[in-house]
Amino acid sequence: MKSRIIILVSTLLLLAGCSNRTDSTLTGMFPDYRDITVPCNIAPLNFRVGQARKIKVTVKGNAGEYEFAGRNGLVRFPLKKWHGMLENEKGNTLNVSVEWQTKGDRSVGNDSFTWTVASDSIDRYMSYRLIEPAYEVWSEIQIEQRDMENFSSVLLGDNRNADMCCMNCHTSNRNGTSFMHLRGAKGGTILNRNGKLVKLNTKTEKTGNTVYGDISADGRYGVFTTADITFAIHSQVDLRMEVYDQRSDLVVLDFDNLTVTDSPATSGDDYQETFPCFSADGRTIFFCRAEHHEQPDSISDMHYNIAVISFDPETGKMGDRAITIVRAGDNISFSHLKASPDGHWLMATAARYGTFPVWHKESELWLIDLHTRKIDVLPKINAYGADTYHSWSSNSRWVVFASKRDDLVYGRPYIAYIGPDGNVGKPFVLPQKDPDRYVTTLKSFNLPELYTTPEIYNARDAASFYNDVQPEQVQYKP
């Protein structure tokens, strides 16, 4: 009798606790994978159809016809069959037809669209940071490395076992060198140089801590911003927060000799320099530069131009003259410069002002042809809500960027095709095993980076470096 009562009570509680999903907002296809160009090695584009019960997906290509089924609103493509299809249909446009039966009234719906399978693959790995989009406080931060061909991932950093410290971007040059900044009392920059890990203290008597950076193609040098970063809050709530540099300069780190150098042309108080990146041949450094104004009061006057300075890979020194190559004007400020590995393009984020476009909803990606200096404002890629922090694939055919277009607060990694002639494809969000992950997460995916070889360390190694390894001091080289 007792056991019956317990079972009855448990059942009642269970029934009361079960939540009947009423995804009123998930009507239609989520994510939107209609009419996109996809890499030939991308993980299955699993999607949901709101309120659907049974789903049938028919894909017609030049090499054959492929049928897939989904249920309970979710289409999960079998990995092997998916990759077989992409392999067979490289360079082809696929006609995709989706039919579904709705829950409840069992009415039928359908949709059709195309997928163009590019013959160009995307780099196999992507790293991104998972962080709450709170203004200035974080709790759990993780740096995750995702395999782009499937759904597996590993953690490169997890601040739970590193004093809950802040972890910055993981940056790779796709050639055996990568770095990740760990802040906090025992922090430092973890450098992976040809399979050997070291922890660096990049601050010297003459130069500050390194922040945003890029690695030269041969992996020997890193160019970084050193900045005093602070923030202020906008009284208008939709503008949220403004992060700005009170001062910022550039430095170059020689990873072989563990030295840091600067240049009078990228130091000093008259200008603020930030977001540097190497050109494909490693002989030029692109960076953003603005005349100094008192901030935050005059922050709307901070318009960063795109400038260049020469770099000598033999001596590891920057030149002594910086030249502005793209003027921002009064309503634009550039940031997040990234040169394509083929040397053809420079992609930048354009916001209205300032140096932290992540909270600027108007932020867009712009593509600059380095041969003609022509600028494409990429209307096919950009959307309202902040498109920022892009990264090129090693073959220069794909960019990944963090976009807040879906809900204006939480960033998601979007992938877009860039053709050799500059033609671009409609961006699509990084596929997930269950796309619901994007709906229920309270983390932003930010600072996405593409690279070809997996990182050699994981979160436990990073924690050991944080906790147990003394940083090697980088020396200032005049």
Partner 1 sequence: MGRKNRSEDFFFAAGVLFVSWILLFSKAPYRLDFKEQVSIFLFGADRINWYLSNPALFASIAGDWLTQFYVNSTLAATLSVFLFALIMAALARFFRLAEPDRPVCLILSAVPVLFEGYFITFPNYPVSATVGLTLSIWSACALAHLKNSKFSYLIYGIAVPALFVIAGGHAITAALLLAFVKRRDGISPMISIAAGMALLLVLGRLYNLTMFQTLLWPVTPGYINPPEWLLILMPWIILAVMILSLHYHKVMDKRWKNVILPLLFVAGIPLSATAFGAEELENTVKIGTLAYRNEWKEVKMMASSHKPGFYKIFYWNVCNARQGHLADELLNNGGWGRSSDMLFLSTVKGDPYFSMMYYTDALLEMGDVSQATDCALLAQTVMPGYYSTRMLRRLAEIAVVTGDYAVATKYLNILIRTRNHRNWAQNLLDCIAADKIPEQYLQWRSRTVPEDRFFVQGDIRSSLSIIASQSPYNRVAVDYLLCSYLLDKNVNTFISLYDRYYLNALDRIVSVPDLYQEALLVNVNSRESLIETVEKYHISQRVYDKYMQLLEARAGDSRPESVITTEAMRTYWHFIMVMRYNNTENQ
Binding residues for partner 1 (CB under 8 A):
13, 16-26, 132-140, 155, 158, 160-161, 231-242, 296-297, 299, 385, 406-410, 432-437, 439-443, 459-460, 463
Spatial contact of 352 and 332, defined as CB atoms under 8 Å apart: yes
**Number of CB atoms found within 10 A of residue 127's CB:** 26
DSSP per position, 113-156 = EEEEE-SSPPPSEEEEEEE---SS--S--EEEEEETTSS-EEEE
Structural contact between residues 169 and 214, judged by C-beta atoms closer than 8 angstroms? no
Burial 55-74 (b: 16+ CB within 10 A, else e): bebebbbeeeebebebeebb
> For residue 226, with 0-12 CB atoms within 10 Å meaning exposed, 13-18 middle and 19 or more buried, which class applies?
buried
Which H or E run includes 463?
helix 459-468
Tokens of 111: 């949709």
Residue-by-residue DSSP string for 353-367 = SSS-GGG-TT-EEEE
**Residue 217 and residue 210: Cα distance in Å, rounded?**
19
User: Buried b vs exposed e over 461-476: b needs ≥16 C-beta within 10 Å?
Assistant: bbbebbeeeebeebee
User: Residue 241, SS3?
Assistant: strand
Q: Which is nearer to partner 1, 375 or 469 (CB)?
A: 469
In angstroms, the CA 446 to CA 410 distance is: 9
Closest separation in Å from C-beta 441 to partner 1: 4
Cβ of residue 436: shortest distance to partner 1, in angstroms? 4
Torsion angles phi and psi, residue 458, rounded to 5: -130, -170
Give least dist CB 405 to partner 1, A. Answer: 9
Question: Which is nearer to partner 1, 137 or 329 (by Cβ)?
Answer: 137
- Residue 58 or 464 having the CB closest to partner 1: 464
Smallest gap from residue 99 Cβ to partner 1 (A): 24
The pair of three-digit structure tokens given for residue 352, joined into one six-digit string: 């209205």
Is residue 448 within 8 Å of residue 413, measured between CB atoms? yes
Least separation in angstroms between CB 161 and partner 1? 5
Q: Which is nearer to partner 1, 144 or 249 (CB)?
A: 144
Cβ proximity to partner 1: between 265 and 358 the closer is: 358
Phi, psi of 264, deg, nearest 5: -60, -25
> Residue 87 or residue 434: which is nearer to partner 1 going by CB?
434
Q: How far is the CB of 20 from partner 1 (least distance, A)?
A: 8
Nearer to partner 1 among residue 331 and residue 453 (C-beta): 331
Pick the closer one to partner 1 by CB: 138 or 476: 138
- Pick 13 or 377: Cβ nearer partner 1: 13
Q: How far is the CB of 231 from partner 1 (least distance, A)?
A: 7
- Closest approach of partner 1 to the CB of residue 409, in Å: 5
* Residue 61 contacts residue 85 (beta carbons within 8 Å): yes
Q: Which is nearer to partner 1, 35 or 163 (CB)?
A: 163
Q: How far is the CB of 11 from partner 1 (least distance, A)?
A: 14
Closest CB 104 distance from partner 1, rounded Å:
16
